[in-house]
Structure 1
Amino acid sequence: MTMTRTGKRATKEQRAAAEYLGSLDDSLARWVRSTGPIDAYDAHLPVAVGSPLEWLSFAVVSRQLSRASSLAIYGRLVARFGGTITAARVVSADEQALRDAGLSHQKARTIRALAERVDDGRLDTDELATMTDAEIHAGLVAVPGIGPSSAHRFMLHYLRRPDVFPSGDLAVRKAITALDHLDGVITPKAAERRSEPWQPYRSYATSYLWGYMWRAHEATEVRAPQRELADEGGHQSSSPSGS
């Protein structure tokens, strides 16, 4: 996931997070200082969502699908419910209506289960602002098909909580592994411990880590054609520099 640098447009919180994380005696600090303030909450969503149910529904729809497929299915789903996904409309529809939009059986069940909990008050979206991160996380992962990753991303990107850390996220763990020069990918439990110095700005640390991995991915993409050209010329090398 790319980072949204804010530079001179940075809010007070964005500047405070960058200053704090950049001041640590920490492998992440150098990357933070070179990057500057960021918008930790920008999810770069390709659709407009007007409620927690719509945000979570798109997260479910887009899981393991291409952007084009996700947009097509979500568009049909929104159209099926008259332009807005509401708990009452989902609950009143049968599962086949969700399947007809292109959802798998499991995804249809998850969205319906979410809507049922919103509709009957077990997941009170009007109270989210006053709930703790732990309470929200527990309420979301209780829904079949909603895991810790979806719960963390919802709290980070939709609720804009500043201290969310998805310790199980592979990109986050790979970034920590690279920055700390570890021999193997850090475990979720160890990543959780590693994140402690980044409190109370772990959402920002997460976004910096995602940005670090995105930069590494871009660098790999740039180098790949150069390696291919070298191979075609008959010059094999074990590293991008040829050394």
Structure 2
Amino acid sequence: MTEKSKITHLIEKDPKLGKFIVFFTKKNFTISDDYRKSTEFLSLVRTIIGQQLSINVASSIYNKFIDNYGSQIYSLQSNIEVNDLKTLGLSKAKSETIIKLSYLINEENLNLTKTMKLPEQKAKDILCKIKGIGPWTVENFLLFSGKNQDICPINDLGIKKGIQIIYNLNELPSEKKVMKISSKWKPYRSLASRYLWEIVDQDINFL
């Protein structure tokens, strides 16, 4: 299905989200692809860096990372150490996660190209074994880099804020409410999630 058809589907299934999508279309706003990088490894690294950080801070650290190691790499070389990454602004924990990730790839114990094509739960079963990678990280990695078009990170604060805005709620929705609302967007919850993040990032709350 084309992107236009997916958008039409979302507008028809959820008019409240739809009016924001129409607004984006009329204003020619683009949806950010900040987590989508040239390789699966870099996409996952960007997602790891982004854990509990603002977009601007995470982007700054990621840019330092690729300035040092390149924008087309599939893993880090085995001689890179935790302290090397910490000098870029990464925490010790995130540095250890990225180095462990590189080790598994270099030893051919992990193939991210295959992993990103797996169903959500199977990908989580593989990647969540790596310390520092949890469900949120896998969901975002798959959402931006994988082939799964139907992912909605129900624990994500941005998703909850986006739903609060479009549904004009007095408080953030519960996970149960997020699941119920997001069911309207199937099978294109990934695209809907990206719109929600953009609504929050661009502070669009006047519709």
**TM-score normalised by L of structure 1:** 0.68
> 2:128 maps to what in 1?
141
Q: Quote how far apart the aligned CAs of 1:76 are.
A: 4.8
Q: Deviations over 1:112-165 (max 9, x none)?
A: 121123233443123135422222233223222223222222112122532111
Distance 2:8 2:58 in 1: 40
Aligned pair partner of 2:191 in 184, 189, 204 = 204
> 1:189 maps to what in 2?
176
* Residues 104 and 110, structure 2, Cα contact 8 Å, conserved in 1: yes
Structure 1: segments with no counterpart, 5+ residues: 1-11, 221-243
Aligned pair partner of 1:166 in 129, 153, 175 = 153
Distance 2:32 2:147 in 1: 9
> 2:46 maps to what in 1?
58
Structure 1 124/77 Cα, relative in aligned 2: closer, same or farther at 3 Å? same
Distance 2:71 2:14 in 1: 50
Distance 1:120 1:66 in 2: 32
* Residues 49 and 58, structure 2, Cα contact 8 Å, conserved in 1: no
Q: Quote how far apart the aligned CAs of 1:96 are.
A: 2.9
- The amino acid that maps onto 1:125 is L
Structure 2: segments with no counterpart, 5+ residues: none
Structure 1 77/20 Cα, relative in aligned 2: closer, same or farther at 3 Å? closer
Matched, 1:155 2:142: yes
Matched, 1:43 2:33: yes
> 1:24 maps to what in 2?
13
* Residues 156 and 162, structure 1, Cα contact 8 Å, conserved in 2: yes
Aligned length: 204
Higher relative contact order (CA 8 A, sep 6+): 2
Q: Deviations over 1:185-207 (max 9, x none)?
A: 11123212321121001012112
**TM-score normalised by L of structure 2:** 0.77
* Residues 11 and 18, structure 2, Cα contact 8 Å, conserved in 1: yes
* Residues 14 and 39, structure 1, Cα contact 8 Å, conserved in 2: no
Structure 1 168/29 Cα, relative in aligned 2: closer, same or farther at 3 Å? same
Q: Quote how far apart the aligned CAs of 1:26 are.
A: 4.5
Q: Quote how far apart the aligned CAs of 1:85 are.
A: 4.0
Structure 1 34/98 Cα, relative in aligned 2: closer, same or farther at 3 Å? closer
CA-based RMSD: 3.3
Percent identity among equivalent residues?
Answer: 21
* Residues 10 and 18, structure 2, Cα contact 8 Å, conserved in 1: yes
Instruction: Answer with 1 or 2: which has the greater Rg.
Output: 1
* Residues 97 and 133, structure 2, Cα contact 8 Å, conserved in 1: yes
Distance 1:178 1:210 in 2: 11
Distance 1:44 1:32 in 2: 19
Structure 1 98/200 Cα, relative in aligned 2: closer, same or farther at 3 Å? same
